[in-house]
Structure 1
Amino acid sequence: MSFKTPHSTVRKRKIQRQSLLDTKKHKRHKKTVITPEIEGIFKGMLYKTWICHSCSPLYNFRTDESSLRHYSQHLSAYLTSEIQKQDCFLSSEFSGGLTAQFSVVQGFAIQQDEPDAIKLHISYDEKKNPIEVYFLSVDVNPLEFSNPTAENIRTIRLLKSGFYSLPIMIYNGYIQKPCSAVISWFEDNFDCVIRPVKFNPIDLSWMMSMWTSFKYIPSSKRKSFLTEFIWKIPVDNIGLDTIKFQIAPSSTTEIWESMKNSENDEMTVEYVEKFMSAITSHLKGMSGIKFDSLILEEISTPFIRVQSSGKIKIGSAAHILTVLAHLCCLSSERIYSAVES
């Protein structure tokens, strides 16, 4: 198995050892200023299941107050109409209609010329949690994901002038039907393409390798996630679908540190291969299972859980930007790869 990142020729990635919240230690991250309000937004995103989608640039999207108010009214009417038209059961669930509200959220954009995030808040029942949607760009430089030809540079400059580029969309809500309606509305109104993000075993291996050594102190109110691997058995009707292993975070950190021969903060393909080989060898010695024949389906580190289906759950506000920056990187690679092909 090749551990080269999908849809690109990237063979190394920078490991953000310091939190991206600490702008003093990241001089190129000039835009992020963490206020108590922004910190509250980050904390409000914790321990929720977010479903990831990639999003191509939004054409002619405006962020002024008048435009956002118009979008809110238009989308509210569209969602109510679509739910009533498509599903009788859900129309009773949303009998009071759905109210969408757009807002611009600062604190996620890292680079100086990066657009601010867009938050979509959809409420339908005072007694139930609202549906939340974020469109985000975190530390994205389009030139990193395309061949630096003159034509591509001109294309990227043109995109910046007429498009609002937010490569990742994350959705939280216990009913998925409104999500498909939101996607249809955006695609129809802003000439974009929104697709589910799936994490293959290579993606999951990179995430585990990059983040397993991060220092993390759990909240006093919540326990940290265990370091966990879940493999899918690619054989049907044997009475067992998956195999789960939990490892003490200190053990995976020791394995990772034992392989590092320098203080270089770059994670390379070679380190990913060596780390995952060491993990599976360790588990094989305990269980006798040959993991090369299985499909890695889910990982957990002390501060994040990631599923191959595109679902993530973050447990540390200090690492939110680090996680989202990597997800934006993956999404951007796929978007620009599709454009060039």
Structure 2
Amino acid sequence: MEIDEDISSIESIGVEDAECSFGDISRISGDNSIQSQNNSNQTSISTSADEITFDPTAFIEISDILGLVGKNWMIFRVSPLWNLKFDKNYLASLSKHFTLSIKKNIATNIKSQKHDSNLQISGTLEVKEAYQECIALKIQVINTENDTLMYDGVLLKTPDYTTKKDKSNLLDMPVLLVQGSKPILTAVHNWLAESFDCVVRPYEFASYEFLWLIAISMGDAGQSYNETVLYHYLYNYEFSKCHTDIKFCIESEFLRSTLTKLSINRSNTEATSFHYSDLIKVQSEIEDHFKLSSGINASKLRLKAFEAPKVATINVSGKILIRSSTLMDLILKYLMELEHRK
């Protein structure tokens, strides 16, 4: 089943600077362990190397994670939902109400041939309670005439989700992954807001979040260091009332030499901390390389998107395309840890 509309277009959205540390990103140097350090000046996400290992075969049975791989997703933030129950009979009844609401919205607000007001559609809300999976609730709108997905949404749960669910009528599922056309997306999100007194808004990556996502993605591509991997950086250049995009490419061999020169590429698993200050150094070296090779000062531009071919594409405006179940799991855990600490 394919989604009704491609949402892979890139948009430029400004973000504010912030600093954070996401423990260890030692996978950049080919190390598959995770270790973190707490710092009084930086926020660290603590993870013991004994608790988590990165075995790609361990994710094969996680069908829901695999279902997210290889697709374009828009990311949204969601405030706690009021009085949503995970009872199957309740959700079945709610799905009927959801379907009627979307049909009514289409009939009154969507005036186009592509989204005819007489469309035969079905809306469903399905609970996901699999052990240790981050997916909590799936939301779909399907055109039953041709079995086409018009909207596909996945609400993710925080690490302490079970505890919060047992103690309050507020369900904290702060991250929503979405595929779908803008009119249907707006209709679904308006229904969520009206039904559960929540706020749904686009997830714009702060600069520190974006650099961490790049680092995690390069770590996954690091398995191909024996071959040349080209990383793509897309910058936005604004002048007067116009703007243009500038794309740079960099080889993995240069990145590896940069990590070695900055003493970041550590082979000792007992000393593999990697903090935001290290990311700044790496990014500075990369932008200096762009300046020498092209004559363009990339540090004066706005970093807009990053691509590790055949691995990941990440946009600062909250769009992702991940082609590895292991990497998808890592990125989702990172996003949920960020929400958990707020």
TM interval, shorter chain, is 0.7 to 0.9
How big is the shift at 1:166?
Answer: 1.1
Cα 1:55–1:26 shift into 2, 3 Å: farther
State the partner residue of 1:153.
Answer: none
What does residue 193 of structure 2 align with?
Answer: 187
SS in 1 for 2:259: helix
- Percent identical among aligned pairs is 21
Select 2:304's aligned residue among 297, 301, 304: 297
Match of 1:203 among 209, 229, 232: 209
> 1:214: which partner in 2?
220
Query: Does the Cα contact within 8 Å between 1:229 and 1:299 map onto a contact in 2?
Result: yes
C-alpha distance in 2 between matches for 1:100 and 1:249 = 45
Match of 2:220, SS? Answer: coil
Gaps of 5+ in 1: 143-155, 219-223, 337-341
Q: Which residue pairs with 1:148 in the alignment?
A: none
The partner residue of 2:25 within 4, 8, 15 is 15
Whether the aligned pair in 1 keeps the contact of 2:26 and 2:273 (CA below 8 Å) is no
C-alpha contact (below 8 Å) 1:131/1:172 kept by paired residues: yes
For the residue of structure 2 that corresponds to 1:61, the secondary structure is coil
Which residue identity lines up with residue 87 of structure 1 in the other structure? I
Counterpart-to-counterpart distance in 1, 2:223 and 2:95: 39
Shifted more, 73-82 versus 158-167: the winner is: 158-167
Helix, strand or coil at the partner of 1:199: coil
Task: Quote the offset at 1:118 in angstroms.
Answer: 0.6
Aligned pair 1:227/2:231, yes or no? yes
Deviations 1:277-306 (A, max 9, x none): 111111111111112211111112242111
Whole-Å separation in 1 of the counterparts to 2:58 and 2:103: 36
* 1:317 match: 325
The 10-residue stretch of structure 1 (97-106 or 248-257) with the greater mean CA deviation from structure 2:
248-257
Q: How does 1:1-341 map onto structure 2 within 5 Å? A: 10-15=20-25, 17=27, 18=32, 27=51, 38-39=62-63, 41-89=64-112, 92-93=115-116, 95-107=118-130, 109=132, 117-124=136-143, 125-126=145-146, 128-137=148-157, 140=159, 160-173=167-180, 175-215=181-221, 226-236=230-240, 241-259=244-262, 260=264, 262=266, 263=269, 264-302=271-309, 303-332=311-340, 336=342
Deviation digits for residues 20-51 of structure 1 (CA, Å, limit 9, x no counterpart): 9xxx976379xxx9686533x33332221100
Preserved CA contact (<8 Å) 1:83 1:91: no
Describe the superposition over 1:59-118 as per-residue Cα deviations: whole angstroms up to 9, x where unpaired. 2111111111122111111011011110221684363232111112245845xxxx7511
Q: Which moved more, 1:200-209 or 1:7-16?
A: 7-16
Aligned partners of 2:211 and 2:178: how far apart in 1? Answer: 24
CA pair 47-257 structure 1, distance change in 2 beyond 3 A: farther
User: Aligned in 2, Cα 1:226/1:19: closer, same or farther, shift over 3 Å?
Assistant: farther
Give the conservation status (yes or no) of the 8 Å contact 1:100–1:121. yes
AA of the residue aligned to 2:209:
D
CA offsets per residue over residues 138-172 of structure 1, 9 Å max, x none? 5x359xxxxxxxxxxxxx96994322211100101
Q: Would the alpha carbon gap of residues 216 and 43 (structure 1) be closer, same or farther in structure 2, given more than 3 Å must change?
A: farther
- Rounded to whole Å, the distance in 2 between the matches of 1:93 and 1:34 is 44
Assess, with a 3 A threshold, how the Cα gap between structure 1 residues 106 and 34 changes in structure 2: closer, same or farther: farther
Structure 2: gaps spanning 5 or more residues = 1-14, 35-47
Q: What amino acid sits opposite 2:154 in the alignment? A: Y
Relative to structure 1, is the Cα distance of residues 283 and 331 closer, same or farther in structure 2, using a 3 angstrom cutoff?
same
- Alignment-mate amino acid for residue 255 of structure 1: T
Asked if 2 retains the 8 angstrom alpha-carbon contact of 1:132 and 1:172, the reply is yes
Change (3 A) 1:38 1:94: farther
Shift of 1:311: 1.0
Looking at structure 2, the residues matched to 61 and 7 of structure 1 have their Cα atoms a distance apart, in angstroms, of 35
Let me know the Cα RMSD of the aligned residues. Answer: 3.5
Please give the secondary structure, in 2, of the residue aligned with 1:267: coil
Structure 2 CA distance for partners of 1:53 and 1:90, relative to 1, 3 Å: farther
Verify the 8 A CA contact 1:225 1:304 in the aligned structure 2.
no
Q: Which sits farther off after the overlay, 308-317 or 124-133?
A: 124-133
Amino acid at match of 1:183: H
Distance 1:88 1:158, change over 3 A: closer
Shift in alpha-carbon separation, 1:86–1:130, aligned structure 2, 3 A: closer
Looking at structure 1, the residues matched to 131 and 74 of structure 2 have their Cα atoms a distance apart, in angstroms, of: 18
- Contact residue 232 and residue 242 of structure 1 kept, 8 A: yes
Stretch deviating more after TM superposition (123-132 or 307-316) = 123-132
CA distance in 2, matches of 1:275, 1:242: 22
